[in-house]
Amino acid sequence: MLVGPIPEGLDACHGCDNRSCCNPAHLFLGTQADNMRDMDAKGRRVTVAPLGEANGRSRLTAGQVVHIRQRAREGEPDTRLARAFGVSESLIGQIRRRAIWRHLEEPRCRA
């Protein structure tokens, strides 16, 4: 709006890394590819977080998660499991429902 129309095929890209910045001098014209290169050059690309124990924010081990699911299947309440493993009831519920730790293969019972 300040400097004129944006040509077809180009975007107004923001070169500043301050999310709250609204300085028009920090804008440049470029393609989506230009914008991605700028982001990569600054190391700002968001990548998928590592799963399970490889994620530095993980509070539990894979073995503990298998144990939690086993005890949950046996009817142990989330409250008791949360207390036993030092985590929130919400986390236990997410584990039980497989909303998290979905990648974890668990041993299957043989009939």
For 21-65, the pLDDT digits (tens) are 989 899 989 999 999 999 889 888 877 788 898 888 899 999 999
63's enclosing H/E stretch is: helix 62-73
What confidence tier does 109 reach under pLDDT thresholds 50, 70, 90?
low
Residue 11 has phi, psi (to 5 degrees) of: -125, 160
Nearest to 29 by CA among 8, 11, 5, 17: 11
Q: How far is CA 15 from CA 35, 37, 67, 75, 84, in A?
A: 8, 11, 48, 54, 48
Q: What is the pLDDT of residue 89?
A: 97
pLDDT, tens only, 82-100: 999 999 999 999 999 999 9
Q: What is the pLDDT of residue 107?
A: 61
Residue 86 has phi, psi (to 5 degrees) of: 65, 35
Angle formed by the axes of helices 62-73 and 78-85, to 10°?
160
Asked if residue 111 has pLDDT above 60, the reply is: no
Q: What is the pLDDT of residue 67?
A: 97
Asked if residue 9 has pLDDT above 80, the reply is: yes
